Structure 1
Amino acid sequence: MDPLEVARQRAAALHKALVDGGASPNDPYAFVLREAERRDIEVRSYPPGDQMLEGGRALLDPEARSIRHEQTGDRFLDAFFVAHEIGHDEFGGRVDLSATSEMDLARSADPAATGADRVVDYSQKARQEVQMDLFAREFLLPRPVARQWHVEHGMSAAKIAEKLGAPYDMVAVQLFDALLLPDVQLEQVKPASPKPLNVKQSDAASHDGPALLLRAGPGTGKTQTLIGRLSSLKDKSIDPASILVLTFSNKAAEEMTNRAMQVWPDAAGSLWIGTFHAFGLDLIRRFHDRLDLPQDPRLLDAAEAISLLENEFARLDLKHFRDLWDPTDKLRDILSAISRAKDEVADADLYAALAQTMRDTATNDDDRIRAEKCLEIATIYQTYEILKAQHGAVDFGDLVARPASLLENDSSVRNQLRTRYKHILVDEYQDVNRASVRLLTALKPSGEGLWVVGDSKQSIYRFRGASSYNMSRFGNEDFPGGVVKDLLTNYRSRQEICDAFAGFASQEMIAAEPGFSVDAHRGASGLKPLLVTVGTKDDELEEIAARIKALEAAGVPYKDQAVLCKANDRLSEVAGGLEGRGVPVLFLGPLFDRPEVKIALSLLSLLVDPRAMGLAATSRLPEFSIPLNDIAECASVLATASGLAPLEWKTRLAESSVLSRSGKVGFDGLVEALRDLSPETTPWRAFASIYLDHSRLAAKAHHDIAAGNPLPAIALWQFQNFLRSARYERRGFPITDLLNHIRRLVVLADERELRDLPAAAQSLNAVRLLTIHKSKGLEFKALHLPSLTKGSLPQHAGQMRGLPPPDGMIESAPHRGEDALKSGHDEEQECLFFVALSRAEDRLILYAPSLQKGGRRQNRSPFIDRIADLLVSEKPLSGNGADTSPERRVEVSFDSPLTISPAQLALFEKCPRRFFYTHVLRLGGRRTETPYMKMHASVQSAIDALLRGDDDDFERHWAERGPADDPNAAAYKAAAERLLGYLKRLRDGDEPLPLEELSFDIGDAKIVVRPHDRVRARDGRIILRRIWTGRQTSGAMEDLDATAFQLAGGTSANIQFVFLTDEIAEPVHLTGTKLNNRRDRIETVVAAIQVGSFPAAPSRSCPRCPHFFICSDPPAGRLLKKNLF
């Protein structure tokens, strides 16, 4: 059971007991004195800095039965100090009870693991202080009390804070916990005592002498054996301060710490347990002067690293990675390549040297291009390292690579650490990269005192450099003379399941050791794993739901079943499919895609967006309901107003006559919810005020939990938790900066940790949905593995995104960089399947769709073929699973004829929902302009003037629209002039002609084509041009935009699409069947527009859309539109 929840529930019980005894919680300080008196503890206060406080702010002296605390002048804070120390008295513990220096009244019980925060690891003492802060908060304001005051008595967070004299933030955090998280029922179980080790486990735990690698397959008790190793060291009277325990996640480190404290409580505070990255950060801070870093260097996450680099990107003389539109994608891939280099301890100079060798030895164009790309990455790598040094910063890759290099090159540091750490224990050794191994080698060159446990068949983190290669080198090149031992008894799975994953390992699995076998301690069940072949993926969803329900009826609760997928996208589809079929799931999915979170973001955006685009989302709430036609009218009013300031929309719309009677009610409710807030309000405070003070939105979410729909409330809790901890660059209004930060997080897929559910949600009886990566270390009574098709698992190596490293950089793989990536990828795919199979305890069901969406046949995964004789095939329990739910359409009427432009057709083809917001509702709105966007705006302004025949003085356009004040303005201006220069060269010798509008009919709609440029070329041809300042996208020459130009101009027309960033002017030439098919597609699009069909088309480009935060089903109501333009 979560020790934090245990502490909180104990505090709430003590609070209730005091209240039942007549104490009043309305005077918090008197309340805690009453509890101290009950415990026979004397409480004394002292001025700040008094020697009796021993350098802290509060202190429990258990021998003298006294609490000493600082006189703060705030009775609630004094009460919190005393309650914190009462928590120490209640729970005792062996950690040194020194003076408490820092307390956090609004501490989260489940810190958001985003950005750099995911590296932070608490010591045992720090964990206890967290526990005591939560105990104190719960003692003074229990969640049930806070919930009752808010839900039943209608008290806002501000009113509760006033009643108690408590800080607003503390009350709001406690209310969010009380309202948005499900209650946790503590199980009445005795503390588990460590299980006795079997013979092989005991032999490994007590090992002495050379380095030991313990190969521990799935379910063989590796963690139990590692804890046994600590017990063995304790029995040998080893100083715990000389022991270092390293693992790979904070969750694993916390679990390891809790289990270690059960067997060795006296080691608390001296035994070091944590992740490799946390240990590396600790070393960087300890020896910062040797690394030319500040004492506490800033730790950059991916978003911050890109922000650091993007301003310099325009200056670099690049060919293959040049991007003058939005370099985020390229920088993400380049930074991943740099991080991968650090996994191998390859610094920028080595990277450049390897790339130069490739260039010098290249014998063909392909090899030269590969070398040139690596050289450009090396240039960016060197620039990045200089920028980090200037900012006193490090990134994730530095946390292991730099300490490894330091130890290898600084004998003083190396000897100091070797002297301190006599015993090093490593969990999940198959996940170490070469930087980790070199760190270990520097600490333990002979291997004596090194004890590691792992399983090469579960090496699934290739993207961060993990490789079974490190397992194979153990005892040979690494730690010569090291010993290898095996654990072969599986305590998790039935024999039939063990046979399945062991059988797969025996079928030429690359990472498997020869002769691998496993015995199931629980024996056979008589039930082999099942293989169910279904039709389409929709049929698969129907079948998974049927199987889950059947198992639940047979006595396997939903919470003991899990569905594992390789990819997050399929997992989201499964979640939606199961929920729609009445199966409860424990799955948030992408946090910022959830409708309740989009509404919350839209509410926040209304504080800073003069065009109030968020109205289209907030109007979906009954409290703020505004009919769809009103929304369109509001958008029109605000679009025609110039120079609007944030929040001025409230006055403009209130004074207008566009709101209907029902719309006015919703509008007034919305304005009330935003009362007292300003553009300068911080995001979390604004969210708390809206949801806890000026509306009943949080209370409503709590009622949804009681009604059996907990996920929306949990998502809102996760969102507010993120708001409290998010770090982002401050350039303008806090909410504007937050929205920009979220867009970048989603672009970089750096928000995935926010999909992890808080601890309180784990008690819900719902099916667990996880990626295979996230399932590592977990186990489930019944396991469902869907979508096992060829090309899905294993995924083809050609689908990898990564940039190949320089040849020879990865010592564990083929010399050629591309081959090294492919080799690692293929091995990882096998390991993923092995891990997935081995999570099951009793029942394992594999699903293989046999039909693609269009009805074409598709083959099952070749991995199934390897274990086919160990599976039993069963016919589906369910029938056809096609989605029969009606499409949500917008009631819209247009004047006739409906006129549409080619650009509008192209936008509809990309995303009908974006088309709806942009051209039907005409919401306007755009992202905050980056310097790149401003640079393109200045170019577009100059182009418009050039094509009109006006003054083409670029300086004026640059001053008005460009990033003229940016520190890198010269580089951006040079890029802009290059874009404009290409267009001028292209038109050189052309005779400008008057523009003519072209059109053609599709049914009762008219497609109107307006070329940007019309010229007579030197050879006499009339050329019609469509001009983009950006780069050419895939399919641009055959999309509906190009089709419309071709149809309007005729097959003999000379049409050019011009892309200035790529310096491409390409003729459009669509004929025959292709042109006819594309015309049919235009007819389909026109028909969809006319009937109001505007579904979303999710893609990787969504976070770049102006409507990203409002994108969901439109508000209800009928919409009357004159036309689209």
Structure 2
Amino acid sequence: MGSGGTSNRSRGPLDGLDPEQRAAASAPRGPVCVLAGAGTGKTRTITRRIAHLVCSGQVSAGQVLAVTFTSRAAGELRSRLRQLGVEGAQARTFHAAALRQLRYFWPRIVGDRQWDLLDGNKLRLVALAATRMRLPTEAELLRDLAGEIEWAKASLVGPEDYPSVAARSRRDLPLGAEDIARLYRTYEAVKNEQQLLDFDDLLLHTTAALEEHPGVAEEFRDRYRCFVVDEYQDITPAQQRLLDAWLGSRDDLTVVGDANQTIYSFGGASPRPLLDFTRRFPEATVVRLERDYRSTPQVVALANRVISSARGRPAGSRLELVGQRRDGPQPRFAEYEDEQAEAAAVASRIKELLEAGVPASEIAVLFRVNAQSEAYEQALSDAAIPYLVRGGERFFARPEVRQAVAALRKAASAHVDQEAELVTLVRRVLTRVGLTDRPPAGGAAKEKWDALLALVELAEELGTAKDSATLTDFLAELDQRAAAQHPPTVDGVTLASLHAAKGLEWDAVFLVGLAEGTLPIQHADANPDAIEEERRLFYVGITRAREHLSLSWALSRAPGRRANRRRSRFLHGVLPQEFTVGNRNGSGRRNAALKARCRLCDRPLVGTMEVKLGRCGSCPSEVDEGLLARLKDWRARRARELNVPAFVVFTDATLLAIAEQRPTDDRGLVSISGIGATKLDRFGADVLAVVRECDGR
């Protein structure tokens, strides 16, 4: 939605906005609620709103506090504001803002040495508390217990109330609720003994400082007058209470969110404050952003169909996206025999996209759980396709990046070539540490080269946004990005979980592993609300794609395993015609989806018989008459043994399809209409044995 910094500053902050964006950006100070669907330009809208308020003199930049939920999103807000010429406005995560405030006010409210902040890993203290209680200390259990403590504190639930609240919330608990409550209490005691704070304490203690110390609240509210909250659907009770403490009795608050993208309920997030915003502020300005500038109409249509099937959608969440881009390809759907075959096919398709000119950095493979990454790492490695795992090694921690930054610092301290243009100077310095005019062929050398080039491109971005930017300015930008975990784009296919993909977008997206038990995740089945959150997670995945979208699933986990998986329930009602046959037995297990095109001439198949045979009526039959006769003999024997009519075993049409298609494994059998999981279990081995005998194997 526009990225040129110089041109942005030369135009007014409301220029180039669509009518709804303009209405949100130009709304008067006071409560404003922006219901913004995926790809509708919410970041553009709120940064333009801040710029408009500052440029029109309604508020000074230093009086603005914008908060969001990830360091990357906060970094993006700061970058956009800088491009708009707004200097001094604060854009931080809730936790970063709270930490800054708590450190500032600590001497006044506590007076002694400031407590240290846990380094982000509370497992050591959880393990110590578990040991005191003689509870198990396996790493996986400790992670689950730490997650429960985090949920409780984010939800403003103390140890004494935890058992009852966890029961009402239908939490999937790793231990008994009473044991977790006692562990929670012990963890807090251990933490206080060591004078430590965890991340949740930052919110709780800052809130207490504002609520219990009028002087602190007065000083804070005198400094900050205007508040903006991004991704408001993800706010937790602890964050909402802090926001209320920031506001006091004021209402100068802009919130932006989309209830359809609420995917962090497991951590205490709730869209209720967003949906109830106009009840709290009846005079609020409400603007709905539904024009999707990110995705093609084909991707948008699929996203709308998926979310329209959601149950219990509150009225305020019913945004229907309207695609604004030109038409693109239809989303692709594919079914594979096993996960290995699925990963190999995805890698093959990615290679096609790369050859067609789609950059590797504009392609992503998204999955429900991180464990699914391994198969795609292997498949991409086998295909010599560069990739990066989001959540893996941090960009600024990589050796080549640290070396490059050190070289840049040395050049800045030596005042080397201060008159040179920033990009020219950065490229010249990085040439000394390995940047060449042409990229290496591949491997580790190519990865290093890509990282160095990413730094050059970042210098170009800064040079465009800030006239006469210096090497010192560039180093300050790198430091800020490193602290915010906001790396530049590096060439390589992104592998990421659906949760990690929130807030990102790519030209091409592969949603993989769309099978029951994975999406929705198996443990969600016990809770209808959890199922709906899984549906929203799927919706978020779809809306990450700008143009190319591929969706796939596998019938078994590994080669040679029985093909007994079912595709995700979220695909029902959105699949193309060729996938709509099957799954009729109601057993909860899956008939394989049939490809409704002739296997001989590729024409669409019409009617049940054509679909069953896999060929259209005008194409010749390839039936093996000897095999058909043996199958009928076998059916007669089995019917006598079971004392049932022959058609109960298999109909004539099913036997004819088997004799024509000569399946060699379970996957081939279940691809024939009429052979479901039950008949596969009862007769599959016998039928395949007959086929092998006739084939001479």
Q: Same fold (TM over 0.5)?
A: yes
2:273 equivalent among 450, 466, 470: 470
In structure 2, do the counterparts of structure 1 residues 700 and 454 end up closer, same or farther at CA, with 3 Å as the change threshold? closer
CA positional deviation for 1:246: 0.7
Task: Report the counterpart of residue 565 of structure 2 in structure 1.
Answer: 858
Q: Is the 8 A contact 1:564 1:769 kept in 2?
A: yes
1:571 corresponding residue in structure 2: 373
Q: 1:768 to 1:282 in 2, by over 3 A?
A: same
Q: CA deviation at 1:452?
A: 0.8
Q: 1:590 deviation in Å?
A: 5.3
Whichever residue aligns with residue 45 of structure 2, its letter is T
Structure 2 residue 494 is matched with structure 1 residue 768: yes
Residue in structure 1 matching 2:124, options 300, 307, 315: 307
SS at match of 2:286: strand
Amino acid paired to 1:561: I
Name the structure 1 match of 2:54. 234
Q: Which of 10, 19, 34 matches 1:214?
A: 34
Shift of the 354–548 alpha-carbon distance from structure 1 to 2, 3 Å rule, reads closer
In 2: Cα distance, 1:560 partner to 1:239 partner:
38
Q: SS of 1:452's equivalent?
A: strand
1:898-942 Cα shifts (integer Å, max 9, x gaps): xxxxxxxxxxxxxxxxxxxxxxxxxxxxxxxxxxxxxxxxxxxxx
Alignment-mate amino acid for residue 300 of structure 1: L
Structure-2 separation of matches of 1:390 and 1:233: 46
Structure 2 Cα separation of the partners of residues 521 and 758 of structure 1 = 29
- Indicate if the aligned counterparts of 1:571 and 1:770 stay in contact, CA closer than 8 A: yes
- Residue 784 of structure 1: aligned partner: 510
Of 547, 553, 561, the residue aligned with 1:842 is: 547
> With structure 2 as the length reference, what TM-score do the two structures score?
0.65
Distance 1:518 1:204 in 2: 17
From the superposition, tell whether residues 414 and 823 of structure 1 become closer, same or farther in structure 2 (CA, over 3 Å). farther
Counterpart of 1:403? 206
Relative to structure 1, the CA distance from residue 390 to residue 263 in structure 2 (aligned partners, 3 Å threshold; closer, same or farther) is: same
Cα distance, 1:758 vs structure 2: 8.6
Corresponding position of 2:320: 517
> 1:460: Cα distance to partner?
2.0
What is the alpha-carbon distance in structure 2 between the residues aligned to residue 225 and residue 536 of structure 1? 44
Residues 502 and 517, structure 1, Cα contact 8 Å, conserved in 2:
yes
1:261 alignment partner, one of 67, 71, 82: 82
Q: How far apart are residue 190 of structure 1 and its match? A: 7.2
Compute the displacement of 1:836 (Å): 0.6
Please say if residues 701 and 712 of structure 1, whose CA atoms lie closer than 8 Å, have aligned partners that are also in contact: no
Q: What's 1:202 paired with?
A: 22
Contact 2:126/2:145 (8 A) holds in 1? no
Residue identity matched to 1:567: V
Matches within 5 A, 1:571-720: 571-587=373-389, 706-710=440-444
Contact 1:591–1:715, Cα closer than 8 Å, also in 2: no
Aligned partner of 1:544 in structure 2 is: 346
From 37, 57, 64, give the equivalent of 1:243.
64
Q: In the alignment, is the contact (CA less than 8 A) between 1:285 and 1:297 conserved in 2?
A: no
Cα distance in 2 for partners of 1:835, 1:397 equals: 26
Q: What amino acid maps onto 1:352 in structure 2?
A: E
Q: Deviations over 1:836-874 (max 9, x none)?
A: 100111121111223443132321111111422599999
Aligned to 2:149, the other structure's residue is in SS state helix
Give the C-alpha shift of residue 404 in structure 1. Answer: 2.4
- CA drift of 1:409 comes to 3.5
Change (3 A) 1:312 1:456: closer
2: CA distance, partners of 1:543 / 1:422: 54
Q: Verify the 8 A CA contact 1:467 1:824 in the aligned structure 2.
A: no
For the residue of structure 2 that corresponds to 1:774, the secondary structure is coil
1:484 positional shift:
2.9
Which residue is 2:520 aligned to?
794
- CA 1:566–1:757 in 2, change beyond 3 Å: closer, same or farther? farther
RMSD: 4.2
Aligned 8 A contact 1:222 1:453 in 2: yes
Partner of 2:466: none
Return the match for 1:507 from 269, 291, 309: 309
Q: Deviations over 1:421-478 (max 9, x none)?
A: 22101111112111111112223355621001111111222343222223222222x4
Is contact 1:776–1:835 with CA below 8 Å preserved after alignment?
yes
Q: 1:261 to 1:710 in 2, by over 3 A?
A: same
Letter matched to residue 867 of structure 1: V
Partner in structure 1 of residue 355 of structure 2 = 553
Q: CA deviation at 1:191?
A: 6.3
CA distance in 2, matches of 1:865, 1:496: 17
User: The residue matched to 1:508 in structure 2 has which SS?
Assistant: coil
Post-superposition CA distance 1:548-575 (Å, at most 9, x none) = 2223333333332221112222122112
Matching of residue 277 in structure 1 with residue 95 in structure 2: yes
Distance change in 2, residues 1:393/1:339 (3 Å): same
Change over 3 Å in CA distance of 1:841–1:392 after alignment to 2: same
CA distance in 1, matches of 2:250, 2:195: 34
Match of 1:287 among 88, 95, 105: 105
The 3 A distance-change label for structure 1 pair 207 and 188 is: closer
Aligned-partner Cα distance in 1 for 2:317–2:519: 24
How does 1:825-974 map onto structure 2 within 5 Å? 825-853=530-558, 854-868=561-575
Give the letter for the 2:510 counterpart: H
- Residue pair 1:529, 1:872 contacting (<8 A) in 2 also: no
Quick check: 1:532–1:875 contact (8 Å CA) kept in 2? no
Q: Deviations over 1:1034-1074 (max 9, x none)?
A: xxxxxxxxxxxxxxxxxxxxxxxxxxxxxxxxxxxxxxxxx
- State the shift of 1:391 in Å: 2.6
C-alpha distance in 2 between matches for 1:487 and 1:790: 33
TM-score, with structure 1 as normaliser: 0.41
Which string of whole-angstrom CA distances, capped at 9 and with x for unpartnered residues, describes residues 269-303 of structure 1? xx222110011111211222466475543111353
Partner amino acid, structure 1, of 2:176: K
Q: How far apart, in 2, do the equivalents of 1:586 and 1:335 lie?
A: 28
Matched residue SS, 2:27: coil
Corresponding residue SS for 1:425: strand
Provide, for residues 158-207 of structure 1, a one-character-per-residue CA deviation record: whole Å limited to 9, x for no partner.
xxxxxxxxxxxxxxxxxxxxxxxxxxxxx999766676111111111121
* In 1, Cα distance between equivalents of 2:193 and 2:160: 21
Unaligned 5+ runs, structure 1: 1-186, 598-698, 719-752, 800-818, 878-1125
Displacement, 1:798? 5.6
State the Cα distance separating 1:707 from its structure 2 match. Answer: 3.5
Q: 1:757 to 1:507 in 2, by over 3 A?
A: same
Instruction: Answer whether contact 1:234 1:264 (CA < 8 A) is retained.
Output: no
Give the distance between the partners of 2:496 and 2:596, measured in 1 at CA.
23
Any idea what the Cα deviations from partners look like across 1:976-1003, whole Å, max 9, x if unmatched? xxxxxxxxxxxxxxxxxxxxxxxxxxxx
Please give the alpha-carbon distance, in whole angstroms, between the structure 2 residues aligned to 1:383 and 1:507.
Answer: 44
Q: Is 1:533 the counterpart of 2:335 in the alignment?
A: yes
**Identity across matched positions, percent:** 28
Q: For 2:308 and 2:101, how far apart are their aligned partners in 1?
A: 42
From 485, 506, 524, the equivalent of 2:287 is: 485
User: Are the counterparts in 2 of residues 293 and 392 from structure 1 also a CA contact under 8 Å?
Assistant: no
Q: Does the 8 Å contact 2:391/2:496 carry over to 1?
A: no
Distance verdict in 2 for CA 1:219–1:273, change over 3 Å: same
Aligned to 2:146: 335
The 2-side partners of 1:430 and 1:201 are apart by: 19
**Aligned match of 1:456 in 252, 255, 259?**
259
**Is the radius of gyration larger for structure 1 or structure 2?**
1
Alpha-carbon separation, structure 2, partners of 1:189 and 1:436 = 32
2:384 alignment partner, SS class? coil
Matched, 1:442 2:245: yes
CA distance in 2, matches of 1:412, 1:190: 42
Cα 1:397–1:591 change in 2 (3 A) is: same
Q: Is residue 352 from structure 1 mapped to residue 152 from structure 2 by the alignment?
A: no
Cα deviations across residues 537-594 of structure 1 (Å, max 9, x unaligned)?
Answer: 12212221222222333333333222111222212211211220233323488559xx
Is contact 1:427–1:454 with CA below 8 Å preserved after alignment?
A: yes
SS at structure 2 position matched to 1:197: coil
Which shows bigger deviation, 191-200 or 456-465?
Answer: 191-200
